[in-house]
Amino acid sequence: MNRPPVRIGLCGLGSIGGAAARLLLEHRTGFEIVGAATKEPDAVGRPLHEVVGSAARGGPVVVGDLADVLAAGPEIMLYATGSFLRDTEDDVVACAQAGVDVVSPCEELAFPFTRHAPVAARIDAAAREGGATVLGTGVNPGFLFDSLLAAATGVSWDVRAIRGHRAVDVSGFGENIHRRLGIGYTPEEFEEGHQAGTIAGHVGFPESIELVCERLGLLLDGPVTERFEPFVAQTAAPTRYGHVPAGRTEGFRQRATGHVGGQLFVRLDLVLHLRPRSAGFETVDSISVEGLHPVNLTLSPGMDAIPATSAQLVNSIPGVLQAAPGLRTVKDLPVAAAWHDLQSHPFR
């Protein structure tokens, strides 16, 4: 029996959303992209493949409003517009109330039950009422420091401590992302931005640590703590849009820690840098599970954030389509795996 193609909607066609669209158009079958929305005015009214730079022609004309995509009747929405629930909550709820499943790289959506409990309850209620499944996932959180790390503990006799390290070359990111992360500031501006909340650094460490601890059946002593150490350029650092002058931040180290039973249990380190190798950082991803039977994994080179996150979104579609309604996390669904034809996928 031939099943109809899965109807997919897209909202957000920036770095991650655009990459997800290219992945679908060029490497996947068994679906129809029924609508795509962006807030970029220059993209509205143009064909999707042209907007995202895909070699494969196809997809709808891009619109400027999520409501227009919902009106096209998608079964599932890839929603990639922001990192914070304050910016994404209402749209996610609108999708869920319409009965449309959601997969999103919004980091705070990956595990919002502790830090954003009222928002999590609202999204979960809307999803259950609408018969939709909502999932926040990506490369981190969603894979590296939670799903992969938790899986690594599966061959451990005991888990005494967990450590993670990731170093990323961010020279290919755009200026807006650099500014949000904390690149291009004087040391004083960097500190002031963190205190004011205008410089976010990497979003998602608390979600990853809470996911891992819940998966292991452990209760954190308190909130995850984070510290930042800026790296100041001694010479001009090249970027896609020019140079970051000497005396301004060309990267930073971000450390997140979680304590269990009065002891440091999880420590995750992230280095984001415009020229990490010159600064002595190898661009690798590594995780260590300390105990009687220790586990040490290193991915070299480390994963490129944009293609890895977009792949995690696309590859999560089959699991989300067959999941029970509600707000879910990566621990609730089958591990995302690359698929080819969505119409013939056994999870559907």
Give whole-number Cα distances, 292 to 38, 156, 158, 244, 341, in Å.
51, 7, 6, 46, 43
pTM of the predicted structure, to 2 decimals: 0.94
Q: Tens-digit pLDDT profile for the chain (348 aa)?
A: 578 999 999 999 999 999 999 999 999 999 999 999 999 999 999 999 999 999 999 899 999 999 999 999 999 999 999 999 999 999 999 999 999 999 999 999 999 999 999 999 999 999 999 999 999 999 999 999 999 999 999 999 999 999 999 999 999 888 888 998 999 999 999 999 988 988 989 999 999 999 999 999 999 999 999 999 999 999 999 998 999 999 999 999 999 999 999 999 999 999 999 999 999 999 999 999 999 999 999 999 999 999 999 999 999 999 999 999 999 999 999 999 999 999 888 865
The pLDDT value recorded for residue 176 is: 84
Q: What is the DSSP letter of 153?
A: G
The pLDDT value recorded for residue 347 is: 67
Q: Is residue 294 in some structural domain?
A: yes
Residues 320 and 211 in one domain: no
Residues 134 and 175 in one domain: no
Residues 101 and 163 in one domain: no
The pLDDT value recorded for residue 229 is: 96
The pLDDT value recorded for residue 331 is: 95
Q: Is residue 319 in some structural domain?
A: yes
The pLDDT value recorded for residue 344 is: 85
Q: Is residue 105 in some structural domain?
A: yes
Q: How crowded is residue 45: how many other Cβ atoms within 10 Å of its Cβ?
A: 11
The pLDDT value recorded for residue 150 is: 95
Q: What is the DSSP letter of 105?
A: -
Burial 279-296 (b: 16+ CB within 10 A, else e): bebebebbbbbeeeeebe
Give me the number of domains the chain comprises: 2
State how far the Cα of 11 lies from the Cα of 79, in Å rounded to an integer: 5
Encoded tokens for 257: 């820690």
**3-class secondary structure, 317:** helix
The pLDDT value recorded for residue 6 is: 96
Q: Is residue 339 in some structural domain?
A: no
Residues 90 and 213 in one domain: no
Residues 202 and 321 in one domain: no
Q: Is residue 61 in some structural domain?
A: yes
State how far the Cα of 40 lies from the Cα of 42, in Å rounded to an integer: 6
Q: How many residues are listed for the chain in this entry?
A: 348
The pLDDT value recorded for residue 101 is: 98
Q: Is residue 334 in some structural domain?
A: no
The pLDDT value recorded for residue 270 is: 97
For the chain, first and last CA: distance in Å? Answer: 13
What is the extent of the structural domain holding 182? Answer: 144-302
SS3 content of the chain, % helix, strand, coil (to 5): 30, 25, 45
Residues 192 and 87 in one domain: no
State how far the Cα of 17 lies from the Cα of 48, in Å rounded to an integer: 11
Q: Which residues pair with 76 in a beta bridge?
A: 8, 101
AA identity, residue 215 = R
